[in-house]
Amino acid sequence: MKSTEEKKVYMLLKAVIFHYHGLDEQEKDDLDKTAEELHAPEEYKWALEFVSQDYITAFDRARNYLNDIIGDYQKEKRIDLINMVWQANNLKGYVTEMEATAMLKLAKDWNVQHELIDLVMK
């Protein structure tokens, strides 16, 4: 069972990466499914409101918010989060350069960039 904080992290992470280039229908469906699986309707609503406050600055604001929380997570958990986002982005069969850049920035912040590169190379 995930805590409210963990649900917020998952939902915000997915929402901000998906909105990075404009949310498509498949990504919206994935967000809906994730919220349902995590029993996180409030956290999902919160994440969408966070992003919609200002789409232009959403990634940088989310990055600051997430870094404050995720910096304290064990390395394995940070790797799991970056892997979750990578897998979610691969649902559509490709990852845009903008999405890849965003994920690399997060991975660097969380000190798991080598693990992300290993995932990409698989």
Contact 8, 2 (CB under 8 A): no
Structure tokens at 96: 């845009």
**Which pLDDT belongs to residue 109?**
94
Residue the block writes with tokens 């994920």 = 103
Q: What is the mean pLDDT of residues 37-46?
A: 96
What is the Cα–Cα distance from 87 to 91, expressed in whole angstroms? Answer: 7
pLDDT tens across 3-19, in order? 999 999 999 999 998 88
pLDDT tens across 54-81, in order? 989 999 999 999 999 998 899 999 999 9
